[in-house]
Each structure stands twice: as C-alpha cells, then as structure tokens.
C-alpha cells in the first residue's frame, strides 16, 4: 500500500499510549490499533481532526505517500 501510517512515531514523540489516545479521541483501542498498523481502509475527517488535536500535529505528520515500484 502506498500510504504509510506514521501514527506510532507521532505517539512515541508525544509519549502517549494507545489506550490514552483512544480514550481522548473517543475510539476503541482495536480501531485505533488497526489505524496504527495500516489495516484500515479509510479514516473519517472528524476522527483525523480529533487525533491531530490530541497529538498537536498536522495530518501530513501522520501519513506518508510512497509510490510503489512499477507505478
């Protein structure tokens, strides 16, 4: 997948656990874990906004686009 999720790096930089972030964002641990590991196919803007607000970051800090070979 050409979109790389950098949520784990941002959480480490902010010293916040998955459980704490999930609670503050209003998501389940499972859904947040799925996002962190790149298993989710999409994210709602309101969820992205909540994550950015809690982590004090921009959406571009959480995601990276990497073109796949042969594209």
Structural domain including 60 reads: 3-65
pLDDT of 69 reads 78
β-strand partners of 13: none
- Spatial contact of 18 and 32, defined as CB atoms under 8 Å apart: yes
* Number of independent structural domains in the chain: 1
Q: CA-CA distance, 53 to 25, in Å (whole number)?
A: 9
Question: Would 55 be classed as within a structural domain?
Answer: yes
User: Would you say residue 71 lies in a domain?
Assistant: no
Integer Cα distance of 10 and 60 in angstroms: 11
Q: Which residues of the chain have pLDDT under 50?
A: none
pLDDT at 1: 63
Let me know if residue 36 belongs to a domain: yes
pTM of structure? 0.88
CATH of the domain at 8: 1.10.260.40
């Amino acid at each position: 997948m050409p979109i790389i999720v950098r949520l784990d790096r941002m959480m480490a930089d902010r010293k916040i656990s998955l459980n704490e972030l999930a609670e503050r964002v209003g998501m389940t641990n499972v859904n947040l874990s799925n996002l962190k590991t790149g298993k989710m196919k999409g994210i709602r803007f309101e969820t992205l906004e909540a994550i950015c607000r809690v982590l004090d970051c921009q959406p571009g800090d959480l995601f990276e686009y990497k073109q796949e070979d042969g594209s």
